[in-house]
Amino acid sequence: MDNYIKIIESFKNLKILVIGDLMLDVFLYGDVERISPEAPVPVVRVLNIMHLPGGAANVSSNLKSLGVDVTLCGVVGGDETGRKFRQIIDNQGINTFFIDDGRKTSIKTRVVASNQQVVRFDVEENKKLSSKYVGYIEKFLEDKINGFDAVIISDYGKGVITKKLIEKVSEITRHRKIPLTVDPKIENFRFYKGVTCITPNTKEASEGSGIKIKDYEAVVKAARKIIKMLNPETLLITRGSKGMALFDSKGEIIKVPALAKEVFDVTGAGDTVISVFTSCIAAKASYIDAVKLSNLAGSIVVGKMGTATVSPEELINNLNLVLKMES
């Protein structure tokens, strides 16, 4: 117990950089009382509207909630959505390095009625970041890298994360011996070579390996193929209600079951997992402790609605679940 508390309390001493695709998450919460006379669809009476930072920004929100001094890097447009997004991030006290390459700021709007998502609609431009703007991020990284304890790449497949940027971030962090963790998307999967940890979910691991995953035996097979292809220091496959599995470069396995008793919303759970896992290894915790605490964090956050975060107090107050799993 004391060891876990020491790790969690050390988060406040960390500085972590998040690079990735940024978006605004909008949640419209309400009730359904009737079917529309215009079409066979439910009419949702909206009772509450929430605006939250999404994509890589949810990773930064999770880190901030943990007490980490976090810097967020990505593309934000000069439109009304972008201004709203910047205001939210500023209010959270998150450091930023934002680029405006002329695109609209991505926005995802979810309509939720009686704890059930009815529909989601997206407004976004998924164009690749040009070499000019990649160069801006590279220069920022070269100038500031010594001030960070870890770097996270949060790839949502919206164009900010490119092969050139991945290679440059990998080169700089490897040279400075700084942990680099990656939440991948299939478009760039083969480029994430030699990172500290890559954290695909089961679907991404299946697509990245080309192996259809139906059972745990297939998870292991897919993991070994990904490790051979990318040579990461570790590979963490998140398996939803089935927990997680961590593999190292030697093929050794740490398998942990899901701890959640009740699942309300899995939105952003992967962001919580990589935030806690990265914070743990940046704090010099073992990979075993890192996966146990990130699994606990993921189990807590799926019990909340929307793109939620966890606090150090919540982790400490629920450590009994980890200890129970160990016994």
Evaluated on CA atoms 275, 280, 286, 290, the torsion sign reads negative
**Hey, what are 125's tokens?**
């431009």
Helix or strand (DSSP H, E) at 318: none
Backbone Cα Rg of the chain = 19
**64 in Cβ contact with 147 (< 8 Å):** no
Active site residue 271: yes
Outline where DSSP puts E strands in the chain.
15-20, 22-35, 42-55, 69-75, 95-99, 106-113, 116-123, 150-154, 180-183, 197-198, 234-238, 244-248, 253-256
Estimate to the nearest angstrom the gap between the alpha carbon of 178 and the chain centroid.
19
Q: Which of 75, 28, 20 is nearest to 51 (CA)?
A: 28
Q: Which of 51, 47, 43 is nearest to 24 (CA)?
A: 51
- How many whole angstroms separate alpha carbon 219 and alpha carbon 166? 26
**158 in Cβ contact with 106 (< 8 Å):** yes
**Catalytic hit among 183, 265, 271, 289:** 271
AA letter at 49: I
> What are the residues whose beta carbons fall under 8 Å from the beta carbon of 254, sequence distance 6 or more?
245, 246, 287, 288, 291
Measuring CA to CA, how many Å separate 318 from each of 5, 303, 306, 323?
A: 11, 13, 21, 9
3-state secondary structure of 22: strand
Active-site residues, by number, are 271
